[in-house]
Amino acid sequence: MTSRTATVTWSAANARRMARQGLTAPGRLAPAEVVGTLPAAHAQVLSAAGLSVGMRTTGVTRADVRDALWKDRTLVKTFGPRGTVHLLPMAELPMWTGALSALPTGRNPFAKDARMTPEQVEAVLAAIEEALTGAELTVDELSEAVVERAGAWAGDLVMPAFQGMWPRWRQVMHLAGHRGVLCFAPDRGRKVTYTRPGVVPLDGPEALAGLVRRYLHAYGPATPAHFAKWLAMPPGWAAELFAGTAARGEIEQVTYEGGPAWVVAGDTGFSAEPVRGVRLLPYFDAFLIASQPREKLFPGAAYTRALAGGQAGNFPVLLVDGTAAGVWHQRRSGRRIAVTVEPLAPLTAGRLRELEAEVARVGEVLEGNAELTVGEVTVGAHA
C-alpha cells in the first residue's frame, strides 16, 4: 500500500498518537524524552506540566521534572507555541527557536502609542540578551537593565496589565523567548526569574521543516489547518509550508477522515487495535490541545462538558478507550490529594478499578496520597 492510497481511520490515528506519547502503556523515559514526544508540554501551570510528564512514564515525580528543569537543564521553560509558556527539550531548543522566530507576524495588537518600531524591537532584544547572559534576573531587575541599555522609552508605562501598566519593552518578551535570548530560571522565593538559555537558533526554513516533522510524528495524519491551529498561525501560510516540505520528500499524503492529510515520509504504519483503558490528563495537556479532529476526541456530550467554548485544555479530562468521557479535579491539602472524577456515563466495575489505579498514579507523581471520589466536578474551566 503506497502513501497515495493509504487510508487512515480516526481510531488508528488516535491509537498511534496515544502509544507514542506513553498514554497506552507508560514506559521508563526521562522527563525530557517524554516532552519530546508531545513535542512540547504546556507549562503556564507548571504543576500541570509535571503531571502531564509523570503520567506518561513510570517512576517520575514532579520533583524529577523540576530537577530536569533547574538542575540537569535537560528541559527548558520558555515561550513556545501560540506564545504561551511551555516546557521544551533543551536538546531541541535550536530547532524550536529557529522555527518560532521564523513565524509570520500578525497584526500588531497594541495601541498606536504603545507600539515599537522594528529598530526598537531589535534594541530591546539585544538589551535582554546582554542583561541575561550569565545572570538570573527578576522582571523588575530585567526591566531596569533593558531601560539602561535601550533607553528610557523602553520603560514607558503604556501596556495595560492585570493591576496597572507594564513598561513598553515587555511586549516583546515572548519574542525574546522565540529568539532564544530569554527563558525562565528558578523562582527566587515568590518571584519569577529569567536567564539566557545560550543556544543558537537553526536556520528558519530548516527549523520549520523540522517542526512540521515533529508535529506530524506526534499527531499525524494532520492537515496544514491543524498545524496552523496548533501554532495560532494563518492556514494559508501553513499550506505553503507543507507544500514546500512535501516537495522535498520529507512528508507524504494519506487519506484521513475522508480527505487529504499528511504524515512524515514513510511513517504510514498504524495498528488495527483500538485504544483500551482509562487515563487522567491534566489542564492544558498537549494531547488534548493538538489532537484533531477535536470533535472525534470529544464526542457527544464531552464536547460541551470537557471543552470551554470549543477550546481544549481548560478542564482536566478523563479518557476512556481513547476519547474524552468526563472531567476531573484535584485539590491538595498537605499530602492529601482529593481527586473528584465526573464521568459522563456510568463506569463498569472494571473501569472503576482502572480509575482507582490511575488516581494512585496521580498521587505518586504529585508526591502525595490521592483519594478518589466519583461525583460532580463543581470547579469551572481554567482561564
**Three cell numbers at 22?**
506513553
Distance CA 99, CA 142 (A): 25
Q: Which residues contact 355 (CB under 8 A, 6 or more apart)?
A: 278, 280, 318, 341, 347, 372, 374
Amino acid at 278: V
pLDDT one-digit tens code per residue, 198-226: 999 999 999 999 999 999 999 999 999 99
CATH code for the structural domain at 203-264: 1.10.10
Distance CA 117, CA 120 (A): 5
Distance CA 203, CA 23 (A): 33
Secondary structure letter of residue 28 according to DSSP = -
Q: Which residues contact 368 (CB under 8 A, 6 or more apart)?
A: 332, 334, 335, 336, 337
pLDDT one-digit tens code per residue, 78-130: 999 999 999 999 999 999 999 999 999 888 888 889 999 999 999 999 999 99
Backbone angles phi, psi at 134, to 5 degrees: 75, 15
Secondary structure letter of residue 314 according to DSSP = S
Q: In what order do the strands lie in the sheet with 369-374?
A: 278-281, 317-320, 323-333, 336-343, 369-374
Distance CA 165, CA 145 (A): 18
| pLDDT recorded at residue 5 | 57
Give counts: helices (H), strands (E), the chain.
Answer: 15, 16
**Three cell numbers at 234?**
494563518
Distance CA 146, CA 124 (A): 6
Distance CA 128, CA 105 (A): 20
* CATH 1.10.10 domain locations along the chain: 107-200, 203-264
Q: CA torsion sign, 22 to 27 to 30 to 31?
A: positive
Fold of 107-200: Arc Repressor Mutant, subunit A (1.10.10)
| pLDDT recorded at residue 287 | 98
Q: Do 274 and 322 contact (CB within 8 A), yes or no?
A: yes
Mapping DSSP to helix (H, G, I), strand (E, B) and coil, where does residue 381 land? Answer: coil
Distance CA 285, CA 209 (A): 24
| pLDDT recorded at residue 4 | 52
- Strands 191-195 and 183-188, bridge-based pairing: antiparallel
Q: Which residues contact 60 (CB under 8 A, 6 or more apart)?
A: 29, 30, 31, 34, 53, 54, 365
- Counting every residue written for the chain, the total comes to 383
| pLDDT recorded at residue 383 | 65
Under-70 pLDDT residues of the chain? 1-5, 383
Exposure on the CB side of residue 124, measured as CA atoms within 13 A? 27
| pLDDT recorded at residue 1 | 38
